Chain A
């Protein structure tokens, strides 16, 4: 195989269809940028889940009499609950928070607000704060084990509170993937069409190649490489767009919730992690589309 010949043919082909090539590159770039955004959303969701898995606990609030009479979980009811929880393989650790400790934390949390003055220690329950070893199955198991037990007022899963945040992030991911899919269909059709036009404008060359006995690979390779080049260039533009977008828009947009520690920041490394994936998707899909188009629509 003469690589200089193939390279020459590819360059010529791209130059000859320059407007089409640009359209194809841009459509691919937009589609892949959306895919990239979706991948970043997935990564952020994973990171956020990690972030919260360290923080989120299941709280077993104790009944008011237990709360009032047991300041250090030394009495049988609280001890019993504590032992049950600690014996569960799904639980990592259990910490007792007394009424007084709860009150102190409450004061600190609402410092300077009128709510802080209204509350008395007696109105807050003592809690067993349970850190889960198994995030998936743990919460349900704890709930089942604790609900209805003597001395238990209620069981609160903090994950129910952050579920809304995950819903939002999940929504962002779904919308970007849906847009990416629509855009990808447009990109696929454009790639297919460009390959056909390219083959048509070069039908004399291709005819001569067939006649003199060029192999199928030799006749097809320039068209395939053309498609792959545009796919890869589109992916590179998409990656650059994501980097620029991160610094210009995303950082600004997320600055509030990132500095509050609600979601982790999107790092440059995250974008750089996404880029090679986009290049592979771009090149791969272009190659497959080009190949199928040549097989189905172009007689080579």
Chain B
């Protein structure tokens, strides 16, 4: 479903490639951790899948679409099928929880009655039922990340990208978020999560793709974060 074939990305301002001949294949419904030290290329990996950037060399295929060659006007359609979650939540502070989730559907032109129906459903799924009227600043970090996940998932994407989603959360809350991501994964959505969190990777025992200096140094099923790291 996702296929990277010798993908290299060189930023103009850097001499070393951010990604260096990276090849990987991720099947539909997989749960994959993307690990590696800061600057190893994890975020670039995610940005290329979202077509926030294009590779310098190599091809990226998502659902049979050649992402790098995708014409500009078709990029929105790709992004509508991919959900995104970040370390800093990126909620809109002047909108309520319900409005934040609805926003993602409004801006892609979904009809109002659909939005009224699916927003409560997804808030229920992420464990925020009854909190639709709350403002983001009234919520804990964990709850805010649930809102962000609800927003990413409300359009039922086939792929969920998570860039350090637990980076700002305490271990217990992180565990809750991981349970939620697992639950979303069980609905058939592929989850690709970039993380530094050893304990989460170790406890989940999922496939691990490890990057170092822009290269894939390990790609292992049911793996741990790594010995001695």
Contact = CB atoms under 8 A, between A and B. Distances in A.
A1 B111 CA distance: 9
A208 B79 contact: no
B107 interface: yes
Interface in B95-112: 103-104, 106-112
B112 A2 contact: yes
List 3 A-B pairs, minimum CB-CB distance, nearest first: A213-B80, A213-B79, A214-B107
Interface residues of A, number: 18
Chain A, interface SS category: helix
A212 B50 contact: no
Contact of A218 (B77, B81, B109, B112): B109
B84 A211 contact: yes
Given A213-B78, A213-B79, A208 B104 contact: yes
B113 to A, nearest CB: 12
A218 B76 CA distance: 10
A54 B192 CA distance: 84
Interface of A: 1-2, 4-5, 204-205, 207-216, 218-219
A212 B90 contact: no
B118 to A, nearest CB: 14
A216 B108 CA distance: 10
Given A212-B84, A213-B75, A213-B79, 8 more contacts: A2-B111, A204-B92, A208-B107, A209-B107, A212-B155, A214-B107, A216-B72, A216-B73
B92 A212 contact: no
Point out which of A4, A208, A218 has the most chain B C-beta atoms below 10 A from its C-beta.
A208
A213 to B, nearest CB: 3
B148 to A, nearest CB: 10
Contacts of B106: 2, 5
A207 B47 CA distance: 13
22 contacts: A1-B109, A2-B106, A2-B109, A2-B110, A4-B112, A204-B90, A205-B92, A211-B50, A211-B79, A211-B84, A212-B79, A212-B103, A212-B104, A212-B107, A212-B151, A213-B76, A213-B77, A213-B79, A213-B82, A214-B108, A215-B108, A218-B107
B92 A214 contact: no
B80 A212 contact: yes
A5 B76 contact: no
Given A213-B108, A214-B108, A218-B108, A208 B90 contact: yes
A5 B107 contact: yes
B175 to A, nearest CB: 26
A210 B79 contact: yes
A212 B152 CA distance: 8
Contacts of B103: 205, 208, 212
Contacts of B107: 5, 208-209, 212, 214, 218-219
A216 B73 CA distance: 8
Contacts of B92: 204-205, 208
Contacts of A218: 107-109
A214 B75 CA distance: 9
Interface in B159-180: none
Nearest to A208: B90
A94 B90 CA distance: 85
A189 B131 CA distance: 44
A300 to B, nearest CB: 11
Contacts of B80: 212-213
Contacts of B81: 213
Point out which of A2, A4, A205, A216 has the most chain B C-beta atoms below 10 A from its C-beta.
A2
B76 A216 contact: yes
Contacts of B111: 2
A215 to B, nearest CB: 5
A1 B108 CA distance: 8
Contacts of A208: 90, 92, 103-104, 107, 151
